[in-house]
Amino acid sequence: MSKESIKLDRLPKHIAIIMDGNGRWAKEKGKFRVFGHQNGVKAVREVSEGCAELGVECLTLYAFSTENWNRPKMEVNALMTLLVKTIKGETATLMKNGIKLDAIGDRSTLPKDCLSQLDEAIEATKNNTRMTLILALSYSAKWDIVNATKTIAERAKNGEIELEEIDEELINQTLTTHKYPHPELMIRTSGELRISNFLLWEIAYSELYFTTVLWPDYRKEHLYEAILDYQSRERRFGKTSEQLA
């Protein structure tokens, strides 16, 4: 399995990743969980660079879920500090690689310093066109769907839209993910076989790929394996194989 076997004309435009296993990785080494998160940054760099080099247009990383706020305060604080530090430290690399940064999730719950660092990096990289790196921060798919529902209900109540106008497209346009195509490939590391409230609406027809590799050990070769596996699948979207042929 190598990079050369990847068919560049059949790349997924958008890959989404549930980065899992940082805590277990650290525990295996007799260290605190935060050590796993710190070492997860290297994997973030690897996949971002790997995707940009291949020509993947969007990469969404599940960096912090709505549910992650329930972790011990010390771990939440450490994760937020790491996020701020990483975003600040990596902005120059994003610029060098032509990567635009964006974020999805509940901005109102993010600490001020995290939000301002995030906005600064988003602003600095806004004209980059090679790839978009989307961080899901304080994000959950159900949160996004509930919010979109409220927005649509409000518009209907104000007479701005008719009930008949509520369709898939309107819902797509109202979610925080509206700027990007839906991911064709979703990857989860660490051997867990769950979606954990990530992009539920958007993965209706995504190919799912699970690996037992723990996130801090994830490297470009693992990304290539996932893409090759994706390219070996037949995507039928409800049709039969014969119809596709």
Residue 16 vs 87, nearer CB to ligand FPP = 87
The rounded distance, in Å, linking the Cα atoms of 173 and 165 is 12
Strands 207-210 and 99-104: unpaired
Residue 75 vs 229, nearer CB to ligand FPP = 75
Q: Tell which positions 12-41 bind ligand FPP, by CB under 6 A.
A: 19-24, 33, 37, 40-41
Residue 83 vs 185, nearer CB to ligand FPP = 83
First to last CA, the chain: 27
Task: Take residue 111 and report the two structure tokens written for it.
Answer: 């600490």
Amino acid identity at 150: K
3-state secondary structure of 71: coil
Q: Tell which positions 92-151 bind ligand FPP, by CB under 6 A.
A: 135
Query: Any catalytic annotation for residue 9?
Result: no
Choices 79-87, 147-155, 175-183, 228-236 (CB under 6 A): range interacting with ligand FPP: 79-87
The residues near 224 (Cβ < 8 Å, ≥ 6 apart) are: 1, 2, 3, 5, 6, 50
Given the residues 22, 39, 68, 113, select the one marked as catalytic. 68
- Interface residues toward ligand FPP, by CB under 6 A: 19-24, 33, 37, 40-41, 44, 61, 63, 68, 82-83, 86-87, 135, 190
Catalytic residues: 20, 68
